[in-house]
């Protein structure tokens, strides 16, 4: 919703003015609150834009462009010491920005118990970092089997992969659910909501995401919903996850995508989220080849026009 939006009924209170024709009702009623829109630091730094590695530089650009908040990509830090985290928190506050999301990476799709435990321990450290930063939610993943030779190969197969020999998808769900069961107490005591993303691996389908989330039935494990990770027929799939979303990541592709581009209908997506009663942040993830600042500014205007 545009921050300068006024109640349309105010015109009717002015005597002597003819009533305007009634507009057609939207598919989903526009929300009566101001939608906040943030940007991921990944939007600036991603795809080898080395000059945007600095979190401080991303914060300043986000404020200058008019965003309300910033989602930090955890692996973008060069130094994650407590002093650096506190300085970033202070800087964001001074710029009038919320630190509203922490995008992290982990993988539990492995028969190696020690490897799974290592990823649990690392995720606990991410929860602690989010707590120190005052961030209320972190993006988490299921992980992948690793049976594609690299990420380019995974994308060439639309995110699909085969299990390791001797193991099954059922094994993988058991490992992932067990890992998040162990992480839930750590998230709760810090007041951090984990949002399982519709990403690759078990999160490639809404059914896969919901199988993990619904198995644990905890308010501390919900969904981070990414508009760009359902490569075919996205809208019904987004609608399946929208009721449990705690953060909406909105992809744009100015200049063409690196692996793929999607022609996403954000008017339709906004209607889906409104229908689900979603009131949280929209976090821009610019994933195109266009110039960062111009493309991100254009993307913000696009999202504001629909949300």
pTM for the full model? 0.88
If you search the block for the tokens 């919901």, which residue do you land on? 210
Are 182 and 141 in contact by the 8 Å Cβ rule? The answer is no
Whether 81 maps to a domain, the answer reads yes
Whether 230 maps to a domain, the answer reads yes
Whether 114 maps to a domain, the answer reads yes
**Dist CA 304 CA 296 (whole Å):** 12
Whether 14 maps to a domain, the answer reads no
If you search the block for the tokens 């909105």, which residue do you land on? 250
Whether 8 maps to a domain, the answer reads no
Q: Return the structure tokens found at 100.
A: 């509203």
Given this model, what pLDDT does residue 30 score? 59
Our count of domains for the chain comes to: 1
Digit-by-digit pLDDT tens for the chain (307 residues) are 443 343 333 333 333 333 334 444 345 555 677 889 999 999 999 877 888 999 999 999 999 999 999 999 999 999 999 999 999 999 999 999 999 999 999 999 999 999 999 999 999 999 999 999 999 999 999 998 888 878 777 777 777 888 999 999 999 999 999 999 999 999 999 999 999 999 888 999 999 999 999 999 999 999 999 999 998 889 999 999 999 999 999 999 999 998 889 999 999 999 999 999 999 999 999 999 999 999 999 999 999 999 9
CATH of the domain at 103: 3.20.20.150
Whether 12 maps to a domain, the answer reads no
Whether 119 maps to a domain, the answer reads yes
Are 184 and 120 in contact by the 8 Å Cβ rule? The answer is no
Q: What is the DSSP string of the chain?
A: --TT---GGGGGGSTTPPPPPPPPPPSSPPPSSPPPEEEEHHHHHTTT-GGG--HHHHHHHHHHHT-SEEEEEGGG-S---HHHHHHHHHHHHHTT-EEEEEE-------S-HHHHHHHHHHHHHHHHHHHHHT--EEEE-------SSSHHHHHHTTT--PPPTT--HHHHHHHHHHHHHHHHHHHHHHT-EEEEES-SGGGGSHHHHHHHHHHH--TTEEEEEETTS--SSHHHHHHHHGGGEEEEEEEE-TT-BSS------HHHHHHHHHHTT--S-EEEEE-BSS-HHHHHHHHHHHHHHH-
Whether 21 maps to a domain, the answer reads no
For 257, left (φ over 0), alpha (ψ -120 to 50), or beta? beta
Domain of 260 in residue numbering reads as 32-306
**Dist CA 143 CA 167 (whole Å):** 15
**Dist CA 148 CA 75 (whole Å):** 22
Q: Return the structure tokens found at 172.
A: 């993988």
């Amino acid at each position: 919703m545009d921050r300068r939006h006024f109640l349309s009924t105010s015109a009717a209170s002015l005597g002597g003015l003819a009533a305007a024709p009634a507009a057609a009702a939207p598919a989903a009623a526009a929300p009566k609150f101001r939608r906040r829109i943030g940007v991921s630091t990944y939007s600036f730094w991603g795809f080898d834009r080395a000059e945007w590695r600095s979190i401080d530089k991303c914060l300043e650009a986000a404020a200058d462009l008019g965003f309300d908040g910033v989602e930090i990509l955890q692996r973008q830090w060069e130094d994650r010491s407590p002093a650096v985290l506190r300085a970033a928190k202070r800087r964001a506050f001074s710029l009038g920005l919320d630190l509203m999301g922490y995008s992290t990476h982990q993988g539990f799709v492995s028969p190696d118990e020690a490897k799974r435990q290592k990823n649990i321990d690392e995720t606990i450290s991410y929860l602690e970092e989010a707590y120190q930063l005052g961030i209320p939610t972190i993006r988490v993943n299921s992980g992948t089997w690793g049976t594609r030779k690299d990420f380019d190969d995974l994308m060439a197969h639309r995110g699909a992969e085969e299990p390791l020999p001797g193991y099954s998808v059922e094994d993988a769900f058991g490992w992932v659910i067990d890992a998040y069961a162990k992480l839930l107490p750590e998230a709760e005591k810090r007041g951090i909501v984990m949002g399982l993303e519709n990403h690759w691996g078990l999160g490639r389908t809404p059914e896969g995401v919901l199988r993990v989330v619904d198995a644990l039935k905890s308010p501390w494990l919900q969904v981070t919903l990414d508009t760009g990770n359902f490569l075919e027929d996205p809208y019904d799939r987004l609608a399946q996850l929208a009721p449990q979303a705690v953060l909406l990541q909105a992809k744009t592709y100015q200049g063409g995508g690196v692996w793929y581009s999607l022609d996403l209908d954000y008017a339709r997506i906004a209607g889906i989220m409104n229908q689900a009663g979603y009131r949280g942040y929209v976090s821009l993830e610019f994933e195109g080849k266009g110039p960062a600042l111009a493309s991100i500014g254009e993307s913000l205007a696009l999202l504001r026009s629909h949300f």
